[in-house]
């Protein structure tokens, strides 16, 4: 039985008319067949060429014909199962299911000074342990969440991160790629009886470098699912107009849909929307910008709605704010809610603070309440004889009628109401007496409690040893290449 996640029990929010969706689709086909995509990978170029693409091997530019696009889009499963280390944490991705996942950060942020620094190995493991405990967090993303961990050589960062996630959580995970670390990451998943999702990321506009494509080949050939992503920045690496940016994102993603389905038809894919407006003052992506949502909502309509391929809305879990504060809260909540309402299958919400630069487990705990709120909302409520409660209303009548003491209330209230774990909901006098704590303080307390009490199911000694061996092998490999 897969994790249930949340169900969007209503028509997805849509921004575009059918004609507009069609215009974007047709525009995408035109870009793919006329401008094409640059793919720096010989085997990919050859495969695409064999299947009717027009390939300029010198420029590494591939023009993809419409029939091939339509054909490959139709081969991607619209729902599929992925296997976690603990079968109760398997995921059934697609349809109207919404799962929440993490957003990483390069370093840990200090909750007092708000400055960042590399995490320690223990902090890294602890951050994963917190994620394992959170009830509204269904999948863990690449990096553990930190990229910079003390004592971990940079080339080992991703593989060490995979190991830390396998050891400290039984939830399903996605992994990054680069410098051939995929080889070791796939081995670790195999050794512990779970699946792992790979990643392939465009370098916008319209380009894929070798490491990204190599990662796609490795995961697809291993029969594992793949997460494909872009990184378009409106007005920077993509047109500043949302319609044009959607065409770019579509073209970049479809190229990999085609490639993966040619390598192995039916390969399980998640398409990710990782996009930002360009901050025209600093040149940085404008994290948390509401324009992200305009793109996300249209993206869900096109990908889940028209193409029937599960979506992951990525540019949600990171803010322009450097602190866990009001701005961070409103940016993340607004974007996550709109993603959920428009039919996202996965939403990257938990833990990220500033711009993929910082992360904190306390933030993941706060986000778990946001996820719970949103999940509660999109599920809607039941309307039937019992919930209409006409008999009860008749029985209770006007004042002094009262509902708190009724069986109906006891039966239904937990289902009808969402209870946040760390929001401050005390009355004012109680709040004064109990130390005037806010959500941030309460989240810190919850983190301490989780760390003191939550112990994920450990690996068997053999599995643990296997992970050690694979990490050793990776280290030897990088030492030989003089990267360590």
Partner 1 sequence: MTDEIVENLKRAIIRYDTKEAEIWAKKVVQEKLDPLRAAKAITETIRQIGEHYGQGELFLPELVGAAEAMQRAMPIIEEEIKKRGEKRETLGRIILGTVYGDIHSIGKNMVATLLIAAGFEVKDLGVNVPPEKFVAAVQDYQPDILGMSALLSTTAPEQRRVIRILKEKSLRDKVRIMVGGAAITEKFAQDIGADAYEATAPGAVELAGKLISD
Binding site for partner 1 (CB under 8 A): 106, 147-148, 154-155, 157, 178-179, 203, 207, 209, 211, 233, 235-237, 240, 278, 280-285, 357, 483
Q: Which of residues 226-285 bind ligand B12 (CB under 6 A)?
A: 231, 237, 283-285
State in angstroms the smallest separation of the CB of 283 from ligand B12.
4
C-beta closer to ligand B12: residue 94 or 285? 285
Interface mask toward ligand B12 for 143-172; x: CB under 6 A: x---xx------------------------
Residues 6+ apart with CB under 8 A from 301: 12, 14, 15, 16, 21, 342, 343
Task: Specify the residue, 15 or 183, whose C-beta has the smaller distance to partner 1.
Answer: 183
Instruction: State residue 189 phi and psi, 5-degree precision.
Output: -65, -45
Decide if residue 288 touches ligand B12 (CB under 6 A).
no
Q: Which is nearer to ligand B12, 280 or 393 (CB)?
A: 280
CB 239 within 8 A of CB 278: no
Q: Give the dihedral sign, CA 276/277/278/280.
A: negative
Nearest distance from residue 202's CB to ligand B12, in Å? 6
Rounded CA separation 471/464 (Å): 11
The stretches of 233-289 forming alpha helices (DSSP H) are: 242-263
Nearer to ligand B12, 47 or 357 (CB): 357
Q: Look at residue 155 and give the partner it binds from ligand B12, partner 1, none, a contact being a CB closer than 5 to 8 Å depending on partner kind.
A: partner 1
Helix (H, G, I), strand (E, B) or coil at 3: strand
177 binds ligand B12 per the rule CB under 6 A: yes
State the nearest-atom distance from the C-beta of 353 to ligand B12, in Å.
11
Q: How far is the CB of 314 from ligand B12 (least distance, A)?
A: 9
Per CB under 6 A, 40 contacts ligand B12: no
Binder of residue 179, out of ligand B12, partner 1, none (CB less than 5 to 8 A by kind): partner 1
β-bridge pairing 346-350 and 311-313: parallel
The item of ligand B12, partner 1, none sharing an interface with residue 277, based on CB under 5 to 8 Å by kind, is: none
User: Please, what is the minimum distance in Å from the beta carbon of residue 90 to ligand B12?
Assistant: 24
What is the chain's percent helix, strand, coil content, to nearest 5? 45, 15, 40
| Residue 143 touches which member of partner 1, ligand B12, none, C-beta under 5-8 Å by kind | ligand B12
By three-state DSSP, how is residue 161 classified?
Answer: helix
In the complex, minimum distance from the CB of residue 66 to ligand B12, in angstroms, rounded to a whole number: 27
Q: Closer CB to ligand B12, residue 16 or residue 220?
A: 220
Show Cβ contacts of residue 397 under 8 Å, excluding neighbours closer than 6 positions. none
Q: With respect to partner 1, which residue has the nearer C-beta, 118 or 456?
A: 118
Task: Choose among partner 1, ligand B12, none what residue 235 binds, the Cβ cut-off being 5 to 8 Å by kind.
Answer: partner 1
**Max CA pair span of the chain:** 84
Q: Pick the binder of ligand B12 from 5, 94, 104, 372 (CB under 6 A).
A: 104
CA distances from 161 to 100, 140, 181, 252, 477 (A): 19, 11, 11, 27, 17
In the range 199-228, which residues lie near ligand B12 by CB under 6 A? 199, 201, 203-204, 209, 211
d(CA 93, CA 174): 13
What is the C-alpha to C-alpha distance for residues 105 and 261, in angstroms, rounded to an integer? Answer: 32
The residue among 23, 97, 25 whose CA lies nearest residue 307 is 25
The interface region with ligand B12, picked from 110-118, 124-132, 354-362, 364-372 by CB under 6 A, is 354-362
Minimum CB distance to ligand B12, residue 53 (Å) = 23
Can you tell me which residue has the tokens 């872009």? 230
Q: Which of 198, 305, 329, 355 binds ligand B12 (CB under 6 A)?
A: 355
Separation between Cα atoms, residue 405 and residue 410, nearest integer Å: 8
Cβ neighbourhood burial of 15 (10 Å; 0-12, 13-18, 19+): middle
Residue given tokens 């990220």 in the structure block: 352
Rounded least distance, CB 377 to ligand B12, Å: 29
| Residues at the interface with ligand B12 (CB under 6 A) | 104, 106, 142-143, 147-148, 176-178, 199, 201, 203-204, 209, 211, 231, 237, 283-285, 355-357
């Amino acid at each position: 039985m897969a994790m249930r996640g949340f169900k969007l029990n209503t028509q997805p929010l849509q921004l575009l008319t059918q004609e507009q969706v069609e215009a974007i689709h047709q525009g995408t086909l035109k870009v793919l067949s006329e401008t094409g995509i640059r793919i720096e990978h010989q085997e990919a170029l050859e495969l695409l060429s064999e299947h009717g693409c027009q390939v300029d091997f010198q420029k590494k530019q591939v023009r993809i014909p419409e029939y091939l696009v339509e054909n490959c889009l139709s081969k991607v499963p619209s729902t599929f199962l992925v296997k976690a280390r603990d079968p109760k944490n398997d995921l059934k991705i697609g349809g109207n299911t919404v799962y929440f996942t993490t957003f990483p950060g390069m370093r840990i942020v200090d909750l007092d000074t708000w400055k960042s620094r590399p995490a320690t190995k223990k902090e890294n493991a602890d951050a994963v342990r917190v994620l394992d405990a959170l009830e509204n967090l269904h999948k863990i993303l690449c990096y553990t969440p930190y990229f910079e961990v003390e004592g971990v050589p940079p080339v080992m960062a991703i593989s060490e991160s995979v190991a830390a996630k396998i050891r400290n959580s039984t939830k399903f995970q996605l992994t990054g790629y680069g410098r051939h670390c995929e080889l070791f990451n796939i081995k670790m998943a195999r050794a512990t009886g779970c699946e792992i999702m790979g990643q392939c990321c465009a370098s916008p506009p319209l380009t894929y470098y070798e490491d990204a494509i190599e990662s796609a080949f490795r995961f697809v050939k291993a029969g594992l699912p793949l997460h494909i992503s872009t990184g378009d920045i409106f007005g920077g690496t993509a047109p500043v107009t949302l319609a044009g940016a959607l065409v770019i994102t579509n073209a970049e993603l479809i190229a990999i849909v085609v490639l993966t389905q040619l390598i192995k038809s039916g390969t399980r894919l998640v398409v990710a929307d990782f996009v930002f407006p360009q901050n025209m003052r600093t040149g940085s992506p404008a994290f948390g910008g509401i324009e992200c949502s305009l793109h996300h909502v249209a993206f869900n309509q096109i990908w889940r709605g028209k193409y029937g391929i599960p979506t992951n809305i990525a540019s949600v879990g990171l803010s322009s704010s450097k602190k866990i504060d009001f701005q961070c809260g409103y940016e993340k909540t607004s974007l996550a809610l709109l993603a959920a309402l428009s039919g996202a299958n996965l939403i990257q919400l938990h833990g990220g603070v500033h711009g993929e630069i910082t992360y904190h487990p306390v933030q993941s705990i706060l986000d778990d309440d946001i996820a719970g709120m949103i999940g509660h909302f999109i599920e809607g409520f039941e309307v039937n004889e019992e919930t209409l409660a006409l008999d009860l209303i008749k029985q209770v009548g006007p004042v002094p009628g009262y509902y708190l003491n009724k069986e109906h209330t006891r039966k239904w209230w937990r289902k009808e109401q969402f209870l946040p774990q760390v929001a401050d909901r005390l009355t004012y006098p109680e709040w004064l007496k109990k130390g005037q704590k806010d959500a941030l303080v309460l989240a810190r307390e919850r983190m301490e409690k989780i760390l003191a009490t939550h112990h994920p199911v450990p690996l068997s000694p053999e599995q643990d040893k296997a992970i050690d061996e694979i990490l050793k092998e990776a280290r030897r490999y990088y030492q030989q290449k003089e990267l360590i």
